[in-house]
Chain A
Amino acid sequence: DAMVIQNPRYQVTQFGKPVTLSCSQTLNHNVMYWYQQKSSQAPKLLFHYYDKDFNNEADTPDNFQSRRPNTSFCFLDIRSPGLGDAAMYLCATSRDLWAVEAFFGQGTRLTVV
């Protein structure tokens, strides 16, 4: 009964080649988040959508973009992946923005070669 599903689980991309990661949710939550987690580090918030409203973190590079075509789906686009973008990318959802539980997907492990 997976509630937040990320595809693919593992993605290998070439340096500079655009890549898209996807996330879907069955919880009908208003908020969807994208986090970047590098090895042995805490998840770092890249951006989030509250419904259709997009909110970018100030330190998120322009190389990272996102789309949310409907409530259930959210995409992370990396326009020109660099070696430093290799990481686990986590999608999460929450019912609202305010101090409520966030549900995480299993993540997509991105390798840049």
Chain B
Amino acid sequence: QQQVKQSPQSLIVQKGGISIINCAYENTAFDYFPWYQQFPGKGPALLIAIRPDVSEKKEGRFTISFNKSAKQFSLHIMDSQPGDSATYFCAASSDNTGKLIFGQGTTLQVKP
């Protein structure tokens, strides 16, 4: 059973535009929601993460919006750049297990 659903599967954005990737989760025990960025041939790297006690977290051009009641969270990339072209994975885990459950991934292409 897929516990973290991610959409869209792929996304094309013009340079300077806003990229938005959405995730939904089922397990209410999840209390840590990271986003990982993965370039081809590389391992995933933590981009930004949020805990459910806040509704938004911003780091530079990257913002996570979190809606606890809807069990949804999203990544917004402002002023998207070609260098942002990568695969983005949302994930969730809980203090009980610590296990990261990944979403299916979104391949982002930012066109110059």
Give the interface of A toward B (CB within 8 A). Answer: 4, 6, 31, 40-45, 48, 90, 92, 94, 96-107, 109
Contact = CB atoms under 8 A, between A and B. Distances in A.
Contact of A45 (B42, B94, B99): B99
Contacts of A105: 43
B93 to A, nearest CB: 5
A31 B98 contact: yes
A105 B42 CA distance: 8
B98 A94 contact: yes
A102 B46 contact: yes
Given A42-B105, A104-B43, 15 more contacts: A4-B43, A41-B104, A43-B44, A43-B89, A44-B102, A45-B100, A98-B98, A99-B31, A99-B32, A99-B94, A100-B32, A100-B98, A101-B49, A107-B42, A107-B43
B43, B97, B102, B107 pick with most chain A CB within 10 angstroms = B43
B105 A41 contact: yes
Interface residues of B, number: 25
Contact of B95 (A90, A92, A99): A99
A42 B43 CA distance: 11
A103 B45 CA distance: 7
